[in-house]
Amino acid sequence: MEDYLAKILVKLQIHISRLRGFVRDFNDQSHIGMYKPIIVSYLYGLGELYALVAKLFPFARNEENMDYTPLDWDDFHNAYENLKIWTDLHHVEGLDLEGLTKRAIERNDSID
């Protein structure tokens, strides 16, 4: 359990650091196109954090044993829906969050 919580904290610290750097560096909206892949990866990171934390709730409520299985598409999909993040923006170049997520799941890893 401690390792699981530590993993969440590390990912949260990385996510916050990257967002702070992005906000600091983002000063010209005319170049938004070059930021799309970065924004998608940050949305993935947010969804991953949400999904990891969501796995804690049944355990915290003493309803189930802790689920240490890797995140799957349903975990991410629920996280994106709860966060009101649309994953089906394939028609907008560079905004394939669903594809990025599914590729990461297939590799059984995360974007760090």
pLDDT tens string 42-82: 899 999 999 999 999 888 888 988 889 999 999 999 999 99
* Domain annotation covers residue 112: no
Indicate the pTM of the whole model.
0.80
* Dist. CA 16–CA 10, nearest whole Å: 10
- 26: number of Cβ within 10 Å: 13
Residues sharing a CB contact under 8 Å with residue 98, sequence separation 6 or more, in sequence order: 87, 88, 90
* Dist. CA 46–CA 79, nearest whole Å: 9
* Domain annotation covers residue 58: yes
Residue 17 φ/ψ, nearest 5 degrees: -60, -45
pLDDT exceeds cutoff 70 at 20: yes
* Domain annotation covers residue 71: yes
pLDDT exceeds cutoff 60 at 106: yes
Specify the number of domains making up the chain: 1
13: containing domain: 2-107
Give the pLDDT of residue 112: 44
